[in-house]
Amino acid sequence: MDERQSVLGFTEAELGFFLAALCLVLWLVSTAAAPAAPPPEEEVVPADSAEMLAEELESTLLERDSLAEAYQALRDSVSGILPSCSRIGRAEGPMWRITVLGRDRVLFDDDVMTFREFGARTWRERKTVIDTCLHQVVVGFPRRTSGAVTEHARGQLARLRLRIARVDWVAGRDDQ
């Protein structure tokens, strides 16, 4: 018997050549039989479509802005929380910076004082907007401040009708 492999009397090489030729013939027949696609028709765009699109975009943007304003007004009215003064243009940003030193001690303008004294010192600026908005304050806490002290400070600032704009963690006596 012959050592070569055969499939139906053909060697593997002959069978591969036959299959390749068969695939080529089938591909040529299928591409020749398919009719050529007609060229695509040019779309005619109306001259005023750009204007209509611009008007639609403008009305959509106006709707979006009015919805955003209505949502914000609804959120403010439902929550009962006054907006920050910087958001409505009554202040440029946070009005004051304090560092909480303990449960009822703060550092403000290089003076150590209580929250009550801080409230008295800032009353003149706060009373002009007391029913309109909340001024913002940047609060610094030493790194090892307890949760009870931070919550007490937040409560005292809320009592003074101040909103915390940012919390900074500052070096305390233990960190230096």
CATH number at residue 108: 3.30.420
Say if 131 falls within a structural domain: yes
Say if 8 falls within a structural domain: no
Nearest partner of 152 among 102, 92, 87, judged by Cα: 102
Say if 109 falls within a structural domain: yes
Span between the terminal Cα atoms of the chain, in Å: 95
The number of domains in the chain is 1
Residues 140 and 172 sit within 8 Å (Cβ to Cβ)? no
Say if 116 falls within a structural domain: yes
Q: What's the pLDDT tens digit per position in 3-21?
A: 556 666 778 888 888 899 9
Say if 40 falls within a structural domain: no
Q: Tell me what pLDDT residue 5 has.
A: 63
Say if 30 falls within a structural domain: no
Which domain does 123 fall in, by range? 96-170
Element (H, E) at 167: strand 162-170
Q: Tell me what pLDDT residue 77 has.
A: 57
Q: What's the pLDDT tens digit per position in 63-75?
A: 887 777 777 766 6
